[in-house]
Copies of this chain bind each other. A is one copy, B any other.
Amino acid sequence: MTVIRDTIDRLLSRINAIGLDGEGWTRPSYSELESAAHDVVADEARALGLAVHRDAAGNLFARLPGRDRSAPAIHVGSHLDTVAQGGAYDGQAGVAGGLALIAALLAEGRVPPVDIVLTVTRAEESVWFPASYLGSRAALGRWSRADLQVRRSDTGRTLADHMRDLGLDPEAALQMPPPAPARFVEIHIEQGPVLHDAQESHAIVTGVRGGLRHRSARIHGVWAHSGGAPREGRADAVFALADLIHAMDADWAQMLAAGQDLAVTFGIVDAASPRHAMAKVPGEAGFCVDLRSDRTEALEAAHARLLHHVARIEAARPGIRFDLGAESRSTPVALSPVWQDALSRAAGGTLRAMPSGGGHDAAAFAAAGWDATMIFVRNWNGSHCPEEGMDPADLALAVGTLKRAVLAEDA
């Protein structure tokens, strides 16, 4: 199907020509650059003869009519914003894949059983506005007034301000009613090494892991002279933190061995302020911890162990006090078993089914009652970085699987 591959290559190339200067690709949420990337998709969709619609929040929809216009449509898409110095595929691949599906159906003269709606969301990367799935939630009629007041991390200005800059109407977006639940498919790079290591081109996603996070935890101890302070009497914040991390590492292995899904990451550890020095017992340390699982019970169990260790360490090390700060939670979301069956059949039963560690728009749609699924495409060199790698041929195979699943609904 050269039309699938051609569409993918052309769209990725046109979208990735847009971004800030510097390493990798940078298109902030609700920026002119994100809008320009949406314009490329609108242009391509109109060239295929599709009707293009934008909602008040700036999400884009391009509709290919199906045979049954009254049945729930199949939305296919992803987002076009990126993290700072991100990669060429996170988000882009799903949009290119959605358009390629429609282009292939048109090229073959196949009318799909229901409407296919290419869906391009806004503001999926929460590094800019620290709130999850902003664009999707707007489209789903799920914004609260507080969402409009979230400030972009680089500019310090509110979401409402940035929307107005782009000619969007924040109040109108806030008033959008929830649409009737339909169907949603997001193709996305895996952002992990599983498919690459297994030499598999794509896979079905069973659910999106939830998270439980302390983003700005601190340990308070007592500053002292590294030569003068005896071991007894020290309240060393770094030793206390190492104790916690080491214990959570062991507990994580134990929970995995017991068959629970879990990931534990201490992404930032900071005992490197101007006050820290080689010859000082550290009296302070900062850290963040990110727990992820496909089951809320496992998140709570891991969190209980974290709290247990904090209490144990405070008791064992007089002078040490943890301040875990605010915790934020996102609920694990199960994706559609109906879609899973359909995609599996379309691929001849050969597709791996796996959870998604990262959060995705599909989770917002699933949480709103949509019949939602994801297809992961093999990638390498990590994600959210300029080195992020993907073979467009793998994406084309994923589109092929989706196309067969959609057309099989006619049978």
Q: A residues bordering B, Cβ < 8 Å?
A: 127, 190-194, 197, 209, 211, 213, 215, 223-231, 233, 236, 238-239, 241-243, 245-246, 249, 252-253, 256, 263, 265-272, 276-282, 285-286, 288, 290, 292, 356-359, 382-385
Whether B190 contacts A228 by the Cβ 8 Å rule is: yes
A382 engages B224 (CB within 8 Å): yes
| Residues of chain B within 8 A of A288, CB atoms compared | 278
A230 to chain B, nearest CB (A): 6
Number of copies: 2
Given A243-B246, A249-B242: A228 touches B270 (CB 8 Å cut-off):
no
- Bound CA span A285–B243, Å: 17
Docked complex Cα distance between A245 and B271 (Å)? 13
Residues of B within 8 A of A197 (CB): 233
Shortest Cβ distance from residue A279 to the other chain B in the assembled complex, whole angstroms:
6
Task: Assess whether B256 is in contact with A267, with CB atoms less than 8 Å apart.
Answer: no
Contacts of A266 in B (CB 8 A): 238-239, 242, 271, 282
Q: Closest 8 A-B residue pairs measured CB to CB?
A: A227-B357, A192-B228, A242-B245, A270-B272, A191-B228, A226-B265, A246-B246, A228-B357
Whether B193 contacts A229 by the Cβ 8 Å rule is: yes
Nearest B residue to A246 by beta-carbon distance? Answer: B246
Query: Are the C-beta atoms of A227 and B249 separated by less than 8 Å?
Result: no
B285 touches A269 (CB 8 A): yes
Q: Is the CB of A223 within 8 A of B278?
A: no
Provide the residues of chain B in CB contact with A272, threshold 8 Å.
Answer: 268-270, 272, 286
> When chains A and B are docked, how far (Å) is the Cα of A114 from the Cα of B388?
77
CB neighbours of A211 from chain B (8 A): 227
* Bound-complex Cα distance A228 to B194 (A): 9
Minimal beta-carbon separation of A41 from chain B (angstroms): 25
A277 contact from B224, B268, B358, Cβ within 8 A: B268
**Contacts of A277 on B, CB cut-off 8 Å?**
127, 267-268
Contact A225 B278 (CB under 8 A): no
The answer to whether A263 touches B359, judged by C-beta atoms less than 8 angstroms apart, is: no
Known: A268-B277, A269-B238. A226 touches B256 (CB 8 A): no
A230 to B263, CA, bound (A): 7
Q: Is the CB of B278 within 8 A of A213?
A: yes
Given contacts A227-B357, A229-B263, A268-B278, 14 further A-B contacts (CB under 8 A): A191-B227, A192-B224, A225-B357, A226-B265, A226-B267, A227-B292, A228-B383, A229-B357, A236-B265, A238-B269, A242-B245, A265-B280, A266-B282, A268-B272
Query: If A242-B242, A271-B270, A278-B213 touch, does A192 touch B229 (CB 8 Å cutoff)?
Result: yes
What's the Cα separation between A213 and B227 when bound, in Å? Answer: 12
28 contacts between A and B (CB under 8 A): A191-B225, A191-B228, A192-B225, A211-B227, A223-B382, A225-B357, A226-B263, A227-B292, A227-B356, A227-B357, A227-B358, A229-B357, A238-B245, A238-B269, A239-B249, A242-B245, A243-B246, A243-B249, A245-B246, A266-B282, A267-B271, A267-B277, A267-B281, A267-B282, A269-B271, A269-B272, A270-B270, A270-B272
Bound form: Cα–Cα A370–B408 in Å: 94
Given A245-B238, A278-B290: A225 touches B383 (CB 8 Å cut-off) = yes
Whether B246 pairs with A231 at a CB distance below 8 angstroms is: no
Q: Report how far A359 CA is from B279 CA in the complex, Å.
A: 11
Q: In the docked arrangement, what's the CA distance between A286 and B358, Å?
A: 27
Name which of A190, A193, A236, A267 has the most chain B CB atoms within 10 A of its CB: A267
Contacts of A233 in B (CB 8 A): 193, 197
Which B residues are CB-close (under 8 A) to A256? 231
Q: How far is the CB of A134 from chain B (nearest CB, A)?
A: 17
| CA A27 to CA B15, docked complex, whole Å | 59
Q: Considering residues A215, A238, A286, A359, which has the most beta carbons from chain B within 10 angstroms of its beta carbon?
A: A238
